[in-house]
A and B are shown apart, each in its own frame.
Chain A
Amino acid sequence: MKKTAKSTVITLVVLIAVALLAPVVVGLKNNYMINILCSYCYFGILCCSLNLLLGYTGQISMGHAAFMMIGAYTYGILNKFHGVHFLIAALAALAVSFAAGLLLGAACCKLNAIFLAMTTVGFYKAVSTVIINEGWLTGGANGISAIQKWTVFGYKLKNWQFYYIALAVVLLVFLFCYRMVNSKTGRAMRAMCSAPIASSAMGVNNNQLKFLVCGISGALAGLAGVLYAVTNSYLSADMFAKVSVQTLTMTVVGGMGTLWGPLFGTLAITTLPELLRPFADHLDGIYGVVIILTVIFMPNGIYGFVRRMVQKASAKAKAKKAQPANAAGKKGE
């Protein structure tokens, strides 16, 4: 029975407060900044999705953008080309990307490590090629443009209002992941990640678990895709080219296998390209360097690094407190 630590609650409250105030601070009409805030949301979800797979289950996906694309395009095609209500289109996007996740699950059952990584890269390439070439379905190289913002009971949501919805979705996803990793399923995931033979000897059906996690991970990435489609109101295959690497960077830099890691990673790495606009052409290289430095100097990511610092500081403070008390005690004797 895990008790939620006080520091966790405080961090969460602070983060939520900042997230709630952010649109007001940047200005509700500042669509550029609001869109960046929304990008935190969909990247946050994407990282949670990859983290379930990579951090908790030990399955590598180097083509996670594929699931995001599948979700985004399913939504875009249904909503824009066929006039399907946004909610139904979003649910359909979840279902389709869940199914795509199951495909990845099949790969996970047969392949490991580098072979799985190659397969997922190939899967991403295949999905983007299909999207570019099957113009009748996806709009092809022209993409899908002018995807509508959501309209609730005849009221068209403004950008900042959509941001709050996206934020609510992120919080739900975070709660989902929190409960999932602390459940029987989550324990089995971590066990399989650490010692697959032992986990199956303890009664965990490894393959079934891989399918389940891949499906869920795919669906969450698809959900991120829906938010992406609505935020940018435009889709084209090449927009996703850097997303896989970016997501991987966020998850690794933040600290995979922890719930907080991906959130910190998202905040850090989504901010980076905005700050590094002048170097936009070299972004992939910068990500590479950041990953290498992280793996060497902070193997547990930003989250692991911060936690270690906090633990050290509190241990020091405790030692300081204990010392005068001991001295006083000795005098008393």
Chain B
Amino acid sequence: MAALLKASNITMQFGGLKAVDNVDMEIQPGEIHALIGPNGAGKTTFFNVVSGIYSPTSGSVIFDGEEITKLKAYQVTAKGITRTFQNILLFENMSIVENVMVGGHTRTDSGLVGSLLRTGKSRRAERECYENAMKTLAFVGMEELADQSASGLPYGKKRILEIARALASHPKIIMLDEPAAGMNSTESEELSRIIFKIRDAGITVLLVEHDMKFVAGISDMVTVLDHGQKICEGVPQMALNGPRVIEAYLGKEEEEEEA
């Protein structure tokens, strides 16, 4: 099976620091792929490279047979890759449904002139955008909160809203950056249900996560990064119990713990 996302020899250098060092990664369509590693391993940097927020120092990203290495974030989204953020970045000044409608930005076909003149086409596009947003909210079980302000949501719900916003762009692959961070066990169970639902809807999931139990329970494939390098890849049981992985997390005796 051809990989949906193929990152080859990705290196991302900030000054003297190689945050991501020559990493190869393939994501198969339809799988839930977890990217794990200790703090500072380069997971989020890798996300930023794939989603176009950073342009890698070297290496290439092929998505669905197309090179997207040099594309900007907004262009990457249009291609069908979407993401959430580790430090929740919602549009706090907008209502929940509006947040999700921004997620549908690339799929809404209404120009400014059309909107100013209220043409039939633009009104139709706006209605579709709204309906798509409501459907997406229903998908994650938040449709009743649609008109509330995003800033008033509890923490766990904010993370779910970020996922809904990302889904509204009809992605082929969704990248979740620590979706379970700060969630209690009820919330993270709810989250795994939603992630399975996303997978069942035919959307590939790539996630960064710290919670090992969560990763073991949910992913089909695990890639482990440490100090910017890939140290292990495989099915969860194997990858999580590999000697180098345990060493990366717990450290060797003489090694200092990385902050």
Q: Interface on A for B, CB 8 Å cutoff?
A: 1, 176, 179-180, 182-185, 187-188, 190-191, 193-195, 197-206, 212, 257
Contact = CB atoms under 8 A, between A and B. Distances in A.
Nearest to A185: B112
Interface string B104-120: 01101010100110100
B56 interface: no
B89 A197 contact: yes
Which applies to chain B's interface (DSSP): helix, strand, loop or mixed?
Answer: helix
A195 B53 CA distance: 14
Interface string B95-134: 0001101110110101010011010001001110110000
A256 B210 CA distance: 41
B90 A198 contact: yes
B127 A1 contact: yes
A194 B93 contact: yes
B74 A206 contact: yes
B88 to A, nearest CB: 9
B229 interface: no
Contact of A198 (B89, B108, B116): B89
B94 A187 contact: yes
Given A191-B94, A197-B89, A183 B126 contact: yes
A185 B125 CA distance: 13
B226 to A, nearest CB: 26
Contact of B72 (A176, A185, A194, A200): A200
Nearest to B73: A200
A179 B115 contact: yes
A96 B129 CA distance: 35
A205 B98 CA distance: 18
Contacts of B129: 184
Interface stretch (B36-44, B77-85, B213-221, B246-254): B77-85
A79 to B, nearest CB: 27
7 contacts: A187-B98, A190-B98, A198-B85, A200-B53, A202-B82, A203-B105, A204-B74
